[in-house]
Structure 1
Amino acid sequence: MRILQQVGGRRRVGYAGPPEAEAVRFLAHLSLSFPASSIHELIPATPERPAPRLVQAFMGLTGPSGVLPRHYTDLLYRLERDRSEKNPERHALREWFDLFNHRFVSLFYRAWEKYRFFVPYERGESSLSDPDLFTSCLFSLVGFGTPFLRNRLRVSVRETTEDGESHERVLARIENLTLLRYGGLLAHQVRSAAGLQAILQDYFQFPVRVCQYQGQ
């Protein structure tokens, strides 16, 4: 799922957007046999169905782990196997069930990723102006909970052009996410010289020594 949701132009599953615009479509495996794995099949996207379809076997209304009585799965199986019936409406019942299956699995995936902070980071949400909840909490710990305080750590010089106009040229910039690496040290109310030395030494990758109480 984490790979499928990297596809550009598709929405994340389980939110308020239309299901046909989401990154993947979940289907229930139509079988009563014991599943060999949670994922039965991944059907690639087609021009008619732009989203890939993921056939899963671990939850749903019907199938090996379905919550409905077994005869519903038997009915769907007979409709799918009936070659004499050419009417495409014989797939309508299964597709109607899959409307609910898709939503169930989508919400299950959202519940799974809620406490896995690395998933929003992989999607780049931590770099947005309104980052994910976990990143926002870390910013609050280090004193950057307000968006106005971010993107201000930089080294710049004032330059004057030939026509007399002055402008700022940025020489170096410290990214916001870099500060979160040192959140354990920055979150303390008491800032020690040892902590400052550890941050500078790790950031610049050079030996650093903080000499305290040095006169001018």
Structure 2
Amino acid sequence: MRSPQRRIDPGLVDQTVREPERYEFFQLVRLYEIVFRNSGGASDEVVSERIRFRNSLRLGFAPSQVDAMRASYRRDAEGLATAEVEQVEIAPSFMGMLGVNGTLPIHYTEQVIHRERFQKDISGRAFLDLFTNRAVGHFYRAWKKYKLPIQYETDRQNRFLPLVLALAGLGFDALRERMNAAPGAVDDESLAFLAGLLRQKPVSGEALERALSSYFREQVVVEQFVGRWYVIPHEQRSTLGGRNSVLGSNVLAGERVWQRNLRVRIHIGPLSHQRYMAFLPKGDIAAALEKILSLATGGQFEYEIRPILRAADVRPTVLAAGQGARLGYDSFMLTRPQTRDRSDTRYLTRFVQ
């Protein structure tokens, strides 16, 4: 009876060593690039150093992109081989100096085969492998250079993320550090996910809804054109004996004006009590909300935030230790269980510069 911890199927690395012809060339190199990078190797040094490329000696039809492969394993202090792969040698069938698809005439391949088989001399092939290793390594790097999914997989912090964040207006490190700073830290990958929506200028209400709903994982409704009375500064009011005023152009009668183009109301929820408290002023999520809104539209709008507390978490205010309440935020006078969500709280966000 086998041990319950025993692996009954060979690992992916072992399968590539036994049957390399089952894998495409680029997928095989990507696999070992990830393996060696996770074991502590630098990404730029893996290809052509720990993943080396040899010439194929096949003179017949190549059934796959990889003709052969050989792996060498790391040895421990006692000189015994371990299960950790130290280096692999891959012989691609579609590119190289030798073989049926090689750049040199076929008789060079025949000479190398003859010397290896009858004279046990591998120097000729080893010499040509130096050129093939470098050429195939550059070929793989050129293939990977402009493929963003591959760059995200191998070196997302230095290559992929800066490109995507630049679309959202965060091309400078100082701006990214400001978004990552506490409280309300917004990580780079979350912003990169929203870059396609945030790069649209001006940002529509629907795009803002989708961005906020996606980031906070809550139901968000953006109410546009919210009207409000705005007090006119004293120096801008129209008065008799003052500056020249033109009727229909710059004459304002009264001390205030009604406008609908400056305020946006954002409804968030229904929320649990814990999430509701985090969306209140000075909460971590509220700080993150301020940063995202500032990035999306700048300081041209007023944002009225209305977090909605779900009915099950609406609790009456009681005088007891550890159950304090804030007036206007989570203090409710109740005589019976609440049956509807509460959205009494509202506040304005500030622009994060």
The two structures have a TM-score, normalised by structure 2, of 0.49
- Structure 1 residue 37 and structure 2 residue 73: aligned? no
Report how many aligned residue pairs link the two structures: 188
Determine which of 170, 173, 176 is the counterpart of 1:147: 173
Structure 2: gaps (5+ residues) = 1-28, 76-84, 229-346, 348-353
For residue 135 of structure 1, report the CA deviation from its aligned partner.
Answer: 3.1
Query: Counterparts of 1:113 and 1:59 in 2: how far apart (Å)?
Result: 17
Structure 1: gaps (5+ residues) = 157-169
- Structure 1 residue 114 and structure 2 residue 145: aligned? yes
| Partner SS, residue 50 of structure 1 | strand
- Structure 1 residue 2 and structure 2 residue 30: aligned? yes
| Paired residues for 1:6-85 under 5 Å | 6=34, 7=36, 8-12=39-43, 22-47=49-74, 50-82=86-118, 85=119
Q: Does the aligned pair in 2 maintain the 1:31–1:77 contact within 8 Å? A: no
1:62 maps to amino acid: L
For residue 18 of structure 1, report the CA deviation from its aligned partner.
Answer: 9.4
Whose RCO is larger (CA < 8 A, sep 6+)? 1
For residue 136 of structure 1, report the CA deviation from its aligned partner.
Answer: 2.4
For residue 95 of structure 1, report the CA deviation from its aligned partner.
Answer: 0.4
Q: Does the aligned pair in 2 maintain the 1:151–1:176 contact within 8 Å? A: no
| Partner SS, residue 43 of structure 1 | strand
2:166 maps to amino acid: S
Q: Considering only CA atoms, is the larger Rg found in Structure 1 or Structure 2? A: 2
- Structure 1 residue 202 and structure 2 residue 238: aligned? no
Change (3 A) 1:143 1:19: closer
Query: Counterparts of 1:136 and 1:43 in 2: how far apart (Å)?
Result: 37
For residue 151 of structure 1, report the CA deviation from its aligned partner.
Answer: 3.2
Identity of aligned residues (%): 30
Query: Counterparts of 2:222 and 2:71 in 1: how far apart (Å)?
Result: 58
Query: Counterparts of 2:50 and 2:33 in 1: how far apart (Å)?
Result: 5
Q: For each residue in 1:142-172, what CA deviation from the matched residue of structure 2 results, as whole angstroms up to 9, or x when unmatched?
A: 111011111322584xxxxxxxxxxxxx4x4
The residue aligned with 1:180 is 192
Root mean square deviation of aligned Cα:
2.4
Change (3 A) 1:18 1:93: farther
| Partner SS, residue 55 of structure 1 | strand
